[in-house]
DNA sequence: CGCACCCCCTGCCGGC
DNA sequence: TGCCGGCAGGGGGTGC
């Protein structure tokens, strides 16, 4: 579910809610996530203090006082919600962390595609193998142009490859390619420099706008306080098959590529 | 190495 | 009304 804007929104929530807190207890109710949780997970976390809440791509990185990093990926349906320890656990509350201030952080993940682990900075780098941050200067025309020359894949697949650029998923790939005026199925190497430049610029504009609207909530994404985002109301193409393009009125088309639904306007995108 | 295909898991929705 | 297939924002493994 969550792509970069949603994970960044959760990061902001968590920074306000858990930064500086100690971890009192860790209850693992269901260790079977995307990979089984390490048996030492709870013991490793307990007693530590949270001194940093950062994000890399779609991963949250919670920095601990012993220089280890608590790595979290929300998969498709993962939620991190702050609440009271008195609340009865809900269905799919897999991990419950109580904090020094008496609050608790619940990890709920219906489909269990999420991931949690604790490791060193080097471990985390090796586990994730991520490309550049799309909102950093490193994601530039020069960078994407070079990446695009090395592949026969469609531009949408390149943008969704986390080893190339970290954080773009299925929604924002369609949305940013609409803003760039480039069809998702275009073989990446056929893009002109001008088109690659528009893709880079559209990526930054769309992701920043989505963060401003606290992400997109289609079915189950919520931030740390349980609030939905509103960017779904501004989708130009995603999940709008057959509906009129907001720019030209033509019906938005859907196609499947790489097993994922892809949306575009046949006249605005070339 | 790249890439197509299939899998992981639960829930919802539309069609019959 | 009920069942069944398809689909969903994630990643990863396999075989070619």
Residue A262 has a pLDDT of: 94
Residue tagged 């950093």 (tokens)? A136
Quick one: which H or E segment has residue A122?
Answer: helix A121-128
Q: Using the structure, give the distance in angstroms from the CA atom of A122 to the C1' atom of C12, rounded to a whole number.
A: 21
Is the CB of residue A27 less than 8 Å from the CB of residue A230? no
3-state secondary structure of A257: strand
In DSSP terms, A164 is beta-bridged to none
Concerning whether A2 is annotated as a catalytic residue, the answer is: yes
In DSSP terms, A25 is beta-bridged to A98
> Which of A53, A58, A81 lies closest to A69 in space, CA to CA?
A53
Query: What percentage of chain A exceeds 90 in pLDDT?
Result: 93
pLDDT average, residue stretch A94-108: 97
Q: Using the structure, give the distance in angstroms from the CA atom of A147 to the C1' atom of B7, rounded to a whole number.
A: 29
In DSSP terms, A60 is beta-bridged to A55, A72
In DSSP terms, A96 is beta-bridged to A27, A106
Residue tagged 């999420």 (tokens)? A114
Structure tokens at A173: 């790939």
Is the CB of residue A97 less than 8 Å from the CB of residue A26? yes
- For chain A, the C-alpha Rg in angstroms (whole number) is 20
Please say if the pLDDT value at position A32 is more than 70.
yes
Rounded-to-integer distance, Cα A28 and Cα A230, Å: 32
Quick one: which H or E segment has residue A117?
Answer: strand A115-119
- Choose the catalytic residue: A11, A55, A56, A58: A58
Please say if the pLDDT value at position A22 is more than 90.
yes
Q: Using the structure, give the distance in angstroms from the CA atom of A84 to the C1' atom of C7, rounded to a whole number.
A: 35
Is the CB of residue A175 less than 8 Å from the CB of residue A160? no
Categorize the per-residue pLDDT at A1 as very low, low, confident or very high, splitting at 50, 70 and 90: low
Sheet containing A23-28: which strands, arranged edge to edge? Answer: A23-28, A93-99, A104-109, A78-83
pLDDT average, residue stretch A85-106: 96
Categorize the per-residue pLDDT at A171 as very low, low, confident or very high, splitting at 50, 70 and 90: very high
Categorize the per-residue pLDDT at A258 as very low, low, confident or very high, splitting at 50, 70 and 90: confident
Please say if the pLDDT value at position A225 is more than 90.
no
**Which nucleotide minimizes the distance between its C1' and the CA of A58?**
C10
pLDDT average, residue stretch A118-135: 95
Q: Using the structure, give the distance in angstroms from the CA atom of A263 to the C1' atom of B16, rounded to a whole number.
A: 28
Q: Helices A193-212 and A4-18 meet at what angle, rounded to 10?
A: 40
Concerning whether A58 is annotated as a catalytic residue, the answer is: yes
Rounded-to-integer distance, Cα A18 and Cα A16, Å: 6
Structure tokens at A249: 């009125």
pTM of the model: 0.97
**Tens-place pLDDT, residues A68-83:** 999 999 999 999 999 9
Cβ partners under 8 Å of residue A6, min gap 6:
A74, A215, A216, A221, A223, A229
Q: Please, is A166 exposed, middle or buried when counting C-beta atoms within 10 Å of its C-beta (0-12, 13-18, 19+)?
A: buried
**Which nucleotide minimizes the distance between its C1' and the CA of A59?**
C10
Residue tagged 């790489």 (tokens)? A258
- Choose the catalytic residue: A186, A246, A254, A260: A260
Structure tokens at A216: 């997109």
Cα A241 off chain centre by? 24
**Tens-place pLDDT, residues A203-224:** 999 999 999 999 998 877 788 8
Concerning whether A156 is annotated as a catalytic residue, the answer is: no
Give the residue ranges with Cβ < 7 A from strand B.
Answer: A 32, 34, 91-92, 110-113, 150-153, 157, 219, 258-259
């Amino acid at each position: 579910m969550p792509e970069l804007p949603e994970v960044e929104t959760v990061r902001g929530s968590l920074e306000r809610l858990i930064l500086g807190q100690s971890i009192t207890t860790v209850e693992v109710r269901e260790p079977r996530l995307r990979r089984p949780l390490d048996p030492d997970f709870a013991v490793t976390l307990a007693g530590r203090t949270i001194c940093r809440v950062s994000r890399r791509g779609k991963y949250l990185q919670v920095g601990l006082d012993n220089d280890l990093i608590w790595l979290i990926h929300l998969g498709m349906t993962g939620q991190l919600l702050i609440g009271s320890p008195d609340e009865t656990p809900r269905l799919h509350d897999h991990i419950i962390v109580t904090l020094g201030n008496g609050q608790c952080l619940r990890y709920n993940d219906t489909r269990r595609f999420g991931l949690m682990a604790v490791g060193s900075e080097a471990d985390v780098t090796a586990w994730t193998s991520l490309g550049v941050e799309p909102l950093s200067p490193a994601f530039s025309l020069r960078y994407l142009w070079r990446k695009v020359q090395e592949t026969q894949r469609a531009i949408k697949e390149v943008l969704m490859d986390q080893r190339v650029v970290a954080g773009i998923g299925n929604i924002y790939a369609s949305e940013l390619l609409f803003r760039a005026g480039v069809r998702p199925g275009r073989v990446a190497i056929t893009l002109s420099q001008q088109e690659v430049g528009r893709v880079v610029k559209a990526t930054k504009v769309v992701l920043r706008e989505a963060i401003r609207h606290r992400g997109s909530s289609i079915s189950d994404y919520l931030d740390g306080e349980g609030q939905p985002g509103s960017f779904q109301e501004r989708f130009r193409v995603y999940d709008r098959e057959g509906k009129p393009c907001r720019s030209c009125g033509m019906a938005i088309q859907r196609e499947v590529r790489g097993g994922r639904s892809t949306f575009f306007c046949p006249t605005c995108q070339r």
